[in-house]
Chains A and B, each alone.
Chain A
Amino acid sequence: MRWLVLGLALFAGCTATVARAERAQKDNLIVSLDGGLTPLPLPRDRPAPVSVHLEGGLQTSDRAPLPRVTRIELGLPSQGVMSTRGLPRCAPRLVRDAKPPEALAACRDALVGRGKLQASVALPNQAPFPARAEVLAFNARIDGRRAVLLHAYTANPPTVSVLPLRLRRGSGRFGLSLVGNLTPALGPWPRLRHFDLTLFRRYSYRGRPHSYLSASCPIPKSLTAGFFSLAKLSFGLGDGRRIGVAIARSCRAR
């Protein structure tokens, strides 16, 4: 079993006082990101199963139409990794034209999270209209790399989009990232407004319990809490711009 520790290395802190939904602005575009780990109390010296919740979005300060997002990148702490050993995978073809019940029927064993997605659909010669999608996240392998496969279903109009987020390793504080190219998945019309995603999965492999995500709070015994950089969200836009924001959160030692 491979435990992948979200190294919540850190300096100290009280959890409740950290501001939520950090934002950043470039020109008229505002990006926001919020999120956290559950549970907050974590062992100091060994990883324990956690769920990670992230939600973010884009808005304009002057109510101008949102630009097209072509690329999304979610950076996670470099020490933090996910364990997928023995976890079934979902092939994109199995869920490409499936409604959520059918997608679950095909890939329930690979389910690693759920979420929601909001977009504004800007069709030519029409006023933009909102679209809300239910999102299922499946463990997958794309082009030989580990990935999270997002299956988004909107009931009105009925549409299914499948977006692979490839797992990449980099360097620095956010050395692990999930990268998705949105253009092939969503087409030119939807303008991403907001998403939320909770990743969590416990499973059993060869008789031993595993968790998709695990974390510890490795702080000395003289401290009770620590801060860490939880995530960084970057959007690549159709006009070539990039905008991003990072969030810091705390953990408590138990």
Chain B
Amino acid sequence: MPRSIPLAFIAFALLFAAPAPAAEAPTRDEYVERLETICKPDAEATQRAMKGARADVRAERLTAAEGKFAKATTIFGGTVKQISAVPRPSADSAKLGKWFTYLKRQQSYLGQITSQLRQGNGIKAQRLTARFIHTGNLANNVVLAFGFDWCSFKFSRYG
């Protein structure tokens, strides 16, 4: 029974193997500090990317605005991906789970705004922008106690 030996060995190994040491959960302060270092350059990049977007919309240069929203969407998505990977304080996991749900919703809205602008649907983009801002404010409220600056949603960063 040549196959039984390796199987038995694996079972034995699994039984007695010590669990891999899990990454130690950070404190809330450590978590905030870690996330802020990730969010800061991205927030600044968003500000640069979105510069003039509102003026573009006002002047009906929807293609120019679409390009800026597309960049912002990419940056936003990248930020969410990076900060999602950071170990979370165990006591805050439920709160942060809710926060990430809002952030992903915002990411989706940004993508949809870009898409609607590309198709020249200003009104639909306008409605989605309302949802994007509303969701950003909800996200901020969930993590209010964290005192985020760069990781919080600020409308003024979007053009």
Contacts and interface: CB of A to CB of B under 8 A. Distances in A.
Q: Is B a genuine binding partner of A?
A: yes
Interface string A8-26: 0111111101110011111
A19 B134 contact: yes
B53 interface: yes
- Report which residue of B126, B140, B158 has the largest number of chain A beta carbons within 10 angstroms of its beta carbon: B126
Contacts of A22: 137, 140
A219 B58 contact: yes
A15 B156 CA distance: 17
Contacts of B133: 13, 18-19, 227, 248
Contacts of B145: 25, 61
A246 interface: yes
A99 to B, nearest CB: 39
Contacts, number: 95
Interface centre among B59, B60, B130, B138 (most CB of A within 10 A): B130
Interface range, A side: 20 to 34
Contacts of B127: 12-14
The secondary structure that dominates the A interface is loop
A246 B157 CA distance: 11
Nearest to A218: B58
A14 B145 CA distance: 29
- Of residues A9, A13, A226, A229, which shows the largest number of chain B Cβ atoms within 10 Å of its Cβ? A13
Interface of B: 53-55, 57-60, 65, 122-123, 125-127, 129-131, 133-134, 137-138, 140-141, 144-147, 152, 154-156, 158-159
Interface of A: 9-15, 17-19, 22-27, 30, 61, 173, 218-220, 222-227, 229, 246, 248, 250
